[in-house]
Amino acid sequence: MSDTDYVLGKVQQAFKAAFDVDSNQVTLDTSASDIPLWDSVGHLSLASNLEEVFGISLDVDELMEMENVREIVRVIAPKVAEKARSASQ
């Protein structure tokens, strides 16, 4: 399993928790227009779930960049890799 697949799987879990959607419907191509509840309030709920699922913190700039699942994975993947490196030291 690639890092992207791992991160995408966890992102799918966060989407399920935030929006109660079938996680299999969440792909790298999913954007806010595909998820009816993904509005500004939903984005905050999603961010909270992402932080919980991954055990990370997201700053405001990162939240602004996360307009679709591909960008969410792009923002989170380096944080997950860094966390894994720190844990193995």
For 52, phi and psi rounded to 5 degrees?
A: -70, -45
Q: What is the pLDDT of residue 49?
A: 96
Distance of alpha carbon 70 from alpha carbon 8, whole angstroms: 9
User: pLDDT tens digits for 24-66?
Assistant: 999 999 999 999 999 999 999 999 999 999 999 999 999 999 9
